[in-house]
């Protein structure tokens, strides 16, 4: 819905006429920017055991999920319409067991550029989690992907931010 009277929207993706647009970052300086995001995959303990023992029927779940997450971060602007295409300098995907039936995906993305990489980190964590589901759904259709969020970001005009512990 257009709002032409909104001359200065607090949302950077909304122009003065209330329409969605790609943010103009051409006047911003290149700076080192880092974002870390996570997604949690809850599953049956037996499914988690198969993943960590590398005995899942489809193969090495974590290796495939890692590659999928990296590829997803690199393709973020193809998936999310207003994201800028970025020349990423690092995408790291790590996994950790969180309790008896949960696996946490952690994605770290770095760029030396004019805009942040929170969306790339979120996309990487999300797609890695979806890949875990895809590779294990035959043994556990009740898996739940949850708590996808940005954990921290560094660099840029707004500075550093870290999710408060809960």
Question: What's the pLDDT tens digit per position in 77-128?
Answer: 999 988 989 999 999 999 999 988 999 999 999 999 888 899 999 999 999 9
Of 90, 106, 95, which is closest to residue 60 (Cα–Cα)? 95
| HSE-up (13 A, CA, CB side) for residue 58 | 16
Q: What pLDDT, on a 0 to 100 scale, did the predictor assign at position 5?
A: 41
Domain boundary assignment for the chain: 31-155
- Looking at 3.20.20.80, 3.40.50.300, 3.30.70.640, 3.40.50.10470, the CATH number of the domain 31-155 comes to 3.30.70.640
150, 36 Cβ separation under 8 angstroms: yes
Give the residue numbers annotated as catalytic, written as ranges.
134
Of 118, 122, 137, which is closest to residue 58 (Cα–Cα)? 137
């Amino acid at each position: 819905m257009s709002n032409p009277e909104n001359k200065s929207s607090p949302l950077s993706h909304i122009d003065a006429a209330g329409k969605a647009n790609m943010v103009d970052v051409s006047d911003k300086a290149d700076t080192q920017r880092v974002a870390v995001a996570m997604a949690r995959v809850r599953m049956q303990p037996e499914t988690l055991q198969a993943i960590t023992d590398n005995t899942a029927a489809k193969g090495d779940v974590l290796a495939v999920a890692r590659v999928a997450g990296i590829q997803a971060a690199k393709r973020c602007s193809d998936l999310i319409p207003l994201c800028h295409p970025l020349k990423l300098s690092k995408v790291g995907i790590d996994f950790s067991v969180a309790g008896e039936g949960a696996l946490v995906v952690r994605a770290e993305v770095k760029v030396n550029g004019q805009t942040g990489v929170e969306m790339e980190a979120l996309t990487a964590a999300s797609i890695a989690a979806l890949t875990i589901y895809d590779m294990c759904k035959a043994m556990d259709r009740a898996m739940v992907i949850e708590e996808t969020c940005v954990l921290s970001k560094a660099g840029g005009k707004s500075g550093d931010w870290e999710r408060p512990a809960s």
